[in-house]
Amino acid sequence: MNQVTATFGAWADSGGMIFLADVALKSIMVLSVAGIETIALRRAPAAWRHLVWTAAIASIRIFERRTSAPPTRSNPITTEDRRWLR
């Protein structure tokens, strides 16, 4: 049991909880919008409502993939470069 808690603690300390919270928040927002859209499409054909839910699930999968691998900068901005940005 201690090994499990140690592994989870290491995962949480490495940013795993931030990743999980980020994906969960984005998923809730996407599914909320999809739910509102399906209510608005109540009298529309079922194919349209299915398309809305399929697009919502697909976008959640994309959010998950894009959040797990954020872009990295190969050349960070130095203090010398910052004076030109002002």
State the DSSP string of the chain.
Answer: -HHHHHHHHHHIIIIIHHHHHHHHHHHHHHHHHHHHHHHHTTTS-HHHHHHHHHHHHHHHHHHHHHHHS----SSPPPHHHHHHH-
**pLDDT of 77:** 58
Average pLDDT score over residue span 56-70: 79
What are the φ and ψ backbone dihedral angles of 27, each rounded to 5 degrees? -65, -40
Under a CB-based contact definition with an 8 Å cutoff, are residues 56 and 26 in contact?
no
Per residue in 6-55, pLDDT tens? Answer: 665 665 666 667 777 788 888 999 999 999 999 999 999 999 999 999 99
User: What is residue 44's predicted lDDT score, i.e. its pLDDT?
Assistant: 94
Q: For residue 76, is pLDDT > 90?
A: no
